Amino acid sequence: MRNIFILFVLSLLFVNSVYSQEDKSLQISGVVLDAESLEPIPFTSILIRDKSMGTVADNSGYFSFLAQPGDTITFRSVGYQQRIFVIPTSLSSKSYSLIELMIRENVLLDEVVVYPLPDFDEMASTMLKRELTPYQQKQIVSFKRDLDQLLEEQTRKNEEYYDQIRYAKFYNMTGIIPPNNFLNPMTWSNFIRDWKKNNDD
């Protein structure tokens, strides 16, 4: 009986601790805005630091999620500086509203000055005088080889396609399947004759 009483008291303490932990949860909701234009920033990443929890703002910049008092919230969006907000620990309500203003991140690039050439002829002569590196020469040779191979394959496919069209038209007009000249002796004799003639020349 004593063991049952101890188990009952422990279970009450456990339920009370779980309830008190859940009781600390806060509903954090708000909107993310641009600090200059006050326009909403859509799809801002909102994460609780040191926890694999968070959310993403919708297309109007609105967000809502559960957090604990004292959690550190980070706001991240492309083109804006990262913002950090710590949830106050002395809150009496179960919800907290927040408006987060994001500051644009200014990236300074090196200055680039473009000097155009006066006309096309001068540009062509300048390009022709330029010496290519071995890597560029290798790339040009590789590109030409790939282009020749592609053109050859395309030509072969076109010839096969037109042969099929010619056979189909012949069959539609006559109703007869075109003969296969591969086993025709006259075709072979003409082929051998032309081959000998080309080799003699």
Same domain, 136 and 173: yes
Task: For residue 16, give Cα distances in angstroms to 4, 9, 39, 51.
Answer: 18, 11, 45, 24
What confidence score (pLDDT) does residue 103 get? 93
Q: What is the mean pLDDT of residues 22-27?
A: 73
| Per-residue pLDDT tens over the stretch 187-200 | 778 888 888 887 77
What confidence score (pLDDT) does residue 11 get? 62
Tell me whether residue 163 is in a domain.
yes
Tell me whether residue 69 is in a domain.
yes
Last residue of a domain, one of 72, 102, 132: 102
Tell me whether residue 33 is in a domain.
yes
| Per-residue pLDDT tens over the stretch 59-74 | 999 999 999 899 999 9
Tell me whether residue 144 is in a domain.
yes
Q: Is residue 116 over pLDDT 90? A: no
| Per-residue pLDDT tens over the stretch 30-40 | 999 999 999 99
Same domain, 124 and 87: no
Tell me whether residue 1 is in a domain.
no
d(CA 56, CA 69): 20
Q: What is the mean pLDDT of residues 125-140?
A: 76
Last residue of a domain, one of 68, 102, 136: 102
Same domain, 95 and 137: no
* Angle at CA of residue 180, ends 176 and 181, nearest 5°: 130
Last residue of a domain, one of 70, 102, 134: 102
What confidence score (pLDDT) does residue 35 get? 92
Tell me whether residue 151 is in a domain.
yes
What confidence score (pLDDT) does residue 160 get? 76
Same domain, 122 and 98: no
Q: What confidence tier does 115 reach under pLDDT thresholds 50, 70, 90?
A: low
Domain that holds residue 32: 26-102
Share of the chain above pLDDT 90, in %: 27
Same domain, 75 and 132: no
Q: What are the backbone angles phi and psi of residue 72, rounded to the nearest 5°?
A: -100, 120
d(CA 65, CA 26): 8
Name the domain count of the chain: 2
What confidence score (pLDDT) does residue 18 get? 47
Task: Provide the CATH number for the domain around residue 87.
Answer: 2.60.40.1120
Q: What confidence tier does 19 reach under pLDDT thresholds 50, 70, 90?
A: very low
**CB neighbour list of residue 15: distance below 8 Å, 6 or more residues apart:** none
Same domain, 30 and 87: yes
To the nearest whole number, what is the mean pLDDT of the chain? 80
Tell me whether residue 15 is in a domain.
no
| Per-residue pLDDT tens over the stretch 138-174 | 888 888 888 888 888 888 887 777 777 777 777 677 7
Q: What is the mean pLDDT of residues 117-128?
A: 68
> Could you give the 3-state DSSP secondary structure of residue 142?
helix
Q: Is residue 9 over pLDDT 70? A: no
Tell me whether residue 123 is in a domain.
yes
